[in-house]
Chains A and B, each alone.
Chain A
Amino acid sequence: MTANLRASMNWAPKPRAMPDQRIRPVHWVIGLVWLVAVLACSVLLWRYKSAPGPAGAAPPRWPVESTIERSHEEPTLLLFAHPWCPCTRASLGELAVILSKANGHVKAHVLFDRPASESDDWTQTDLWRSATAIPGVTAHVDGDGVEAHRFGAETSGHVVLYDASGALLFAGGITNARGHAGDSEGRRAVLSLIATGKANRSVAPTFGCTIDKPELAEKR
């Protein structure tokens, strides 16, 4: 009987040893090194994303030789795009926002650059499909980047805005960083110019891939 009683006592809970929770100086050093490495990578990423692309001088008046039809009733907006540039997806997103807020008071064209050596198929990317899906946008193939050169666009996502009389209102980007959606000085300025004809700025940096300008191609 006593054996049974003793056997019934074996369930008694056993205390569990808690592991060491101390943080030693070497751990702080490892953590600090890790944080510095992470911050260094982040700074490099920011610098890349916030570095604007090259911009040429946009003509102050609509070039007569341009093959793009300018509106005589309302402002005309041109966006120059590299068909393969992932950063331009954000610019097209901002263009869609501008057009929806402009409520039809602007004519918009997106010109996809095509190098001389490529066929038009080279421009038929998802960006082309995104552009044509935006209501009020007309997409064009810019063979050899002729129009881009004509309007001083060297970076994908570059926007020029001309008023109904053909005077330049704005030239620059409509995103605040490379491939980064959201509010930006450029977008605000374009919206203000469409709505009121006035804005606190007429230029903004453009963030995106480089468009294949004939001069650049020659340099390469």
Chain B
Amino acid sequence: MDAVLDTSAERFTPASERAEALFQEHLFEVHRRADIMFAILMAVQWVFGVVLSLVVSPWAWEGKVRSVHVHVYAAVILGGLLSGLPIAMVMRRPGWVANRYVIAVSQMLWSALLIHLTGGRIETHFHVFVSLAFLSFYRDWRVLVPATIVVAADHLIRGLLWPESVYGILFPEWWRFLEHAFWVLFEDIVLVFACLNGAAELRAATERRAQVEILSEIDRTKTEELATALEALEKSQEARMRTEKLAAVGQLAASVGHELRNPLAAVRNAATYVQRRVTDPRFAGQPASADPKVAEFMQLMLRELDASSKIIADLLDFARERKPAMNPCPLHPLVQEALTVIPQIGVRVVNEVPEDLPVPSLDKDQFRQILVNLIQNGMEAASGKPDAQVIVRAEGGGGRAPWVIRIIDNGTGMPREVLEKIFQPLYTTKVKGTGLGLAVVWNVVHAHKATIEAKSEEGKGSQFIIALPAAAGAAAAE
């Protein structure tokens, strides 16, 4: 396995870089939201300005003759200009840096226009200060600069060209400009601090988030590498199992060769005798059927060929790894089917599987094979006892409960050291066994994602318990 977990911090984006990116991202969001708020405010101010002019000063009079008041034109045209550009800019590119500067200029000019439309009411002058406060929503102190310049320029230009419109008198004292500017600057100073503090808090928050993200990224990378390592491990295990299996098959071939040699030698001897009996001229006129040895040897040949066939079948079962074809299959009839292929001599086999048990999904042929193997093992263990019996039981399968299938015999039982090895390939305690029967059972059970457990008590019998997962039921129900 070459996957090595490397979680050193150098592999990840530095927290400061990520914090800066997050800060810019959040700040952009703040600007975007403030832009939208001001776009709405611009529209509201425009409507308000027009309504105000229509209510307060709709007409200008010359005696009995009236004409539309200049305030109405100012509200519609000048107000439209003031609101139109910021709204268009925000609609096109919300969050753009130019928006807030145009909005700052426009908002302060709106203050001047509203002051005109309300007839210079002192209360409307609060619009200037409220607007400055609103502009601080951008958390960008630089926005206050054009806003303040507009207020100052308005006072300066009008103070020079038309002083009475600002100060009410033609020749104001030189410091009157400072008096007006002082209050604006006073608010500016407070708002600049508020903007700087807001930005600092935002930066601190983004730095914390960046740290958390980096840690999460390390964690995520760990998880990813762990997943890769596990995948490699799974592949390695599969390869090892294949190698072991090939080794087992090789070992088995030797064992099978050895096992087959004896019956084949016996068959050859018997066949040689039968051949000689049939072809030797010395036996001419004496029918082979009259020779009792011919019948005996023929019987022997059949028995030994059966034994050889069994050895080869077991080998094939073990070596051939077929993916189970899962289909709904009721258990009671399956057990009954298995019993029909097992000659029951001297041992009573009882199928106690309820007929109304929920139906699992499994490979019918493979599962019948493991039932046959286990029942045959039980019968062999119990044979010779006067009340020898093998019982097959099953339960569960409802909802999330797994199916539990038990094959119980009252045979000789197994000692602990045998019990630990019974599922190993080629391990057998029988004189004529290949040691593959239970290994095949183990493979099939695990191919069904099920588990198998063996319990045994010497002199009392053994019990094999197969637990078939509830998922098999869900698959069957589909």
Contacts and interface: CB of A to CB of B under 8 A. Distances in A.
A151 to B, nearest CB: 17
Nearest to A86: B57
Interface string B68-97: 011100100110011001000000010111
B299 interface: no
Residues of A contacting B: mostly: loop
Contacts of B59: 84, 86
Nearest to A10: B220
Contacts of B113: 42, 45
B405 interface: no
Nearest to A183: B168
Contacts of B116: 45, 49, 180
B236 interface: no
B78 A45 contact: yes
Given A16-B25, A86-B56, A177-B164, A38 B78 contact: yes
Interface string A26-43: 010011001101100110
Given A38-B81, A182-B168, A87 B57 contact: yes
B93 A19 contact: yes
Contact of A46 (B119, B165, B170): B165
B22 to A, nearest CB: 9
B477 interface: no
Nearest to A17: B25
Given A41-B74, A156-B61, A180-B120, 5 more contacts: A21-B97, A46-B162, A177-B120, A210-B63, A212-B63
26 contacts: A9-B223, A12-B217, A12-B220, A16-B25, A23-B97, A30-B85, A31-B98, A38-B109, A41-B77, A45-B70, A45-B113, A46-B165, A49-B116, A49-B165, A50-B162, A84-B61, A86-B56, A86-B57, A93-B119, A176-B169, A177-B164, A177-B165, A181-B120, A182-B120, A183-B167, A187-B168
Interface of A: 1-2, 5-6, 8-9, 11-13, 15-16, 18-19, 21, 23, 27, 30-31, 34-35, 37-38, 41-42, 44-46, 48-50, 82, 84-87, 89-90, 93, 115, 117-118, 156, 176-177, 179-185, 187-188, 209-213, 216-217, 220
Interface of B: 21, 24-25, 28, 56-66, 69-71, 74, 77-78, 81-82, 85, 93, 95-98, 102, 105, 109, 112-113, 116, 119-122, 158, 162, 164-165, 167-170, 213, 217, 220, 223-224, 226-228, 230-231, 234
